[in-house]
Structure 1
Amino acid sequence: MTIQIDSLETSTKKIIYSDKCKDILSLSVAEIQELFKSSGILLFRGFGVTHEQMKAFSKQFSSRFTRETNRTRVDSREGFVSLVAQGTHFIEPHCENANTPFRPDAVWFCCGVPPAQGGETLFCDGVQVWEQLSEESKQLFLSKKIRFDFIYSAEQWKHFLGAEATLANVKQMLEGLEGVSYFINEDESVSFAYACPAVIKTKYSNQDAFANNILNAKESVFFENGSPIPDTIISEIEEVTDRLTEEIQWQVGDLVMIDNSRFLHGRRSFSDNQRLIFSIFSYLNF
């Protein structure tokens, strides 16, 4: 196994190559764990990984997986492998499900077919974003939590919990969760509010990271008291994030593993319809 550290100065990303298309399942689990703890993002290239192999590989590092409410499932039996968000539009950097109390530890992406042009997956280190925000913004986010407001339709929460789920299952899941308030509507949709810090401690290095969903949820995020986040603050976050954002130019069979407590991820827009990227979200076992 040859380890290459990405040459971009701002990146901790490591690329793990296989010149001879060695089976990715033969890699040392312990070594990958240590690399992931230190870097937060690993790109495996040259292994020709399929979405089935991604699932088998991720199981070595995961205690459990999560289902997504708005994605097309690929593995019908368990439903944990899905296609990435539909459409060809730009997606702002964000942490997966950071607008809910169900943030997974890791995001896994596997490339089946790269786009002809554009469509790169973006990533940005939340530790570096926090370091480069102004002191005024830091103090604001340290003193105030943010709140996400949204509605889950019955179809959405059944997709997440399973087709046989009931409102009793919804209540059981949500009761007692820190920062959560909810209301069940007459049509069995659930109005949901979640208050949380905008800056969190990373899972492994215990560093402060501006790792949240503020940028891609601008219409539904406020401070905890309901007041809006000032446009000037949003503009500053966008400027810092844009400056620090890097990209993965996909090749067939690439697999990437991202620390969701540290790195934000997104996507550049693209125009063709051939892009095929698979995803898994998991809680880690190390």
Structure 2
Amino acid sequence: MMRTELAVISTANIIENENYQSILQLPVKNTLELFQSFGILLFRGFKVNHTEMKDFAQQFSSRFVLDKDRPIIDSSNKFVTLVDPGMHYVSPHSENANSPFRPDLVWFCCAVPASQGGETLFWDGVQVWQNLSEELRQLFISRKIRFLQKFPVTDWKRFLGTGATIADVKRTLNNIEGLNYQINSDQSVSIEYCCSAVVKTKYGNHNAFANSLIAEYKNPRGTVTFEDGSPIPVIVINQINEVINRLTGVIPWQTGDLVMIDNSRFLHGRRSFADTRRRIFALLSYLK
């Protein structure tokens, strides 16, 4: 059975299992059509585990990518990880949007929900963009943003593979639009990446405010500015947050839930929690 449920402000399509069939029996074409329309799907009642998440995602994905910060579940499923460590609130962001390596799809699977809190939050970047003031829209159309990051050897080897070399780093990073990099004496890599905060969605070619601006602005380890290095005013961030706070969607997790997110359209985050048993798996991939 399929039904559409209003989740706070944003509409999330819930695909609910009433026949206790495997999620792998769902028709791929119909599922993809729903995904193209809604941009976020919640599969409930299929009792999905992390292995089935990978098998299901494989039907839609050309390849998987490993996040550098998340712990791997097991060696046989190296692309399946736990979500961001810690129990803190996670600010709105699109996955890896502070780099040129943004995946198309973000997958989450719930093994154990927190007893209280810990809900995954989501924001439709198309709605966010439409609700920003004309002044802010013109600002972000006319000015790009810049992210500064530094990757130790362990981080870029996790992304490129344990056998990767500096030559592999250079081959990967050379000739990418908006990207400048520096190889440091300790073989860490410093990256400067400039991009628009406004993204064209994968489906429909709509403008979406789908980026990592808010998350990186609050991140003491990261640096985000306008492209020329000038700071982004606090009043601009506050105005964006005011819109985002009105458009927050909530996923109240149940065991076995699976969520599929269009990373070109949606931002996601999470509420804080205190339950150490909470266990959510994550997977990142590119569409076929």
Superposition TM-score tier, normalisation by shorter sequence:
over 0.9
Deviations 1:182-211 (A, max 9, x none): 011111111101000000110001110000
Deviation per CA, 1:111-143, whole angstroms, max 9, x where unpaired? 010011100000000000000101111111000
Q: What TM-score do you get using the length of structure 2 for normalisation?
A: 0.97
Match of 1:7, SS?
strand
TM-score, normalised with respect to structure 1: 0.98
In the alignment, the residues of structure 2 paired with residue 208 and residue 163 of structure 1 have an alpha-carbon distance, to the nearest angstrom, of 37
* Structure 1 moving runs of 4+ over 6 Å: none
Contact 2:149 2:191 in 1 (8 A): yes
Number of equivalent positions: 284
Q: Deviations over 1:207-263 (max 9, x none)?
A: 100000001101511110001111110001111111101110100000000000001
Match of 1:247 among 231, 246, 250: 250
Alignment of 1:234 with 2:237, yes or no, is yes
CA distance in structure 2 between the aligned counterparts of 1:122 and 1:235, rounded to whole angstroms:
19
Q: Which AA in structure 1 matches 2:52?
A: Q
How big is the shift at 1:9? 6.8
- Report the Cα distance in structure 1 between the residues aligned to 2:190 and 2:172, rounded to whole angstroms: 14
Distance 1:114 1:192 in 2: 36
**Among 255, 258, 262, which residue is 2:261 paired with?**
258
SS of the aligned residue for 2:10 comes to coil
Gaps in structure 2 of 5+ consecutive residues = none
Q: Tell me, yes or no, if the aligned pair for 1:12 and 1:40 is still in contact at 8 Å.
A: no
Cα deviation for residue 99 of structure 1 reads 0.3
Report SS of the residue matched to 1:279.
Answer: strand
Asked whether 1:44 is paired with 2:43, we answer yes
Give the superposition deviation at 1:3: 1.2
- Residue identity (%): 56
How far apart are residue 78 of structure 1 and its match? 5.1
Q: Using the alignment, how far apart are the partners of 2:138 and 2:200 within structure 1?
A: 16
- Check whether the contact 1:20–1:46 (CA below 8 A) recurs between aligned residues: no
Distance in 2, Cα, partners of 1:82 & 1:129 = 29
Query: In structure 2, what residue type is equivalent to 1:215?
Result: I
- SS, match of residue 77 in structure 1: helix
Q: Secondary structure at the match of 1:6?
A: strand
**Is the CA contact 1:54–1:255 (under 8 Å) kept in the aligned structure 2?**
yes
- Look up the match of 1:54: 53
Alignment partner of 1:69 is 2:68: yes
Report the Cα distance in structure 2 between the residues aligned to 1:171 and 1:34, rounded to whole angstroms. 38
> What are the equivalent positions in structure 2 for 1:120-269 lying under 5 Å apart?
120-218=119-217, 219-269=222-272
RMSD (CA atoms): 1.0
What amino acid does structure 1 have at the position aligned with 2:234?
D
Aligned residues of 2:8 and 2:250 also touching (Cα < 8 A)? no
Whether the 8 Å CA contact 2:10–2:248 is kept in 1: the answer is no
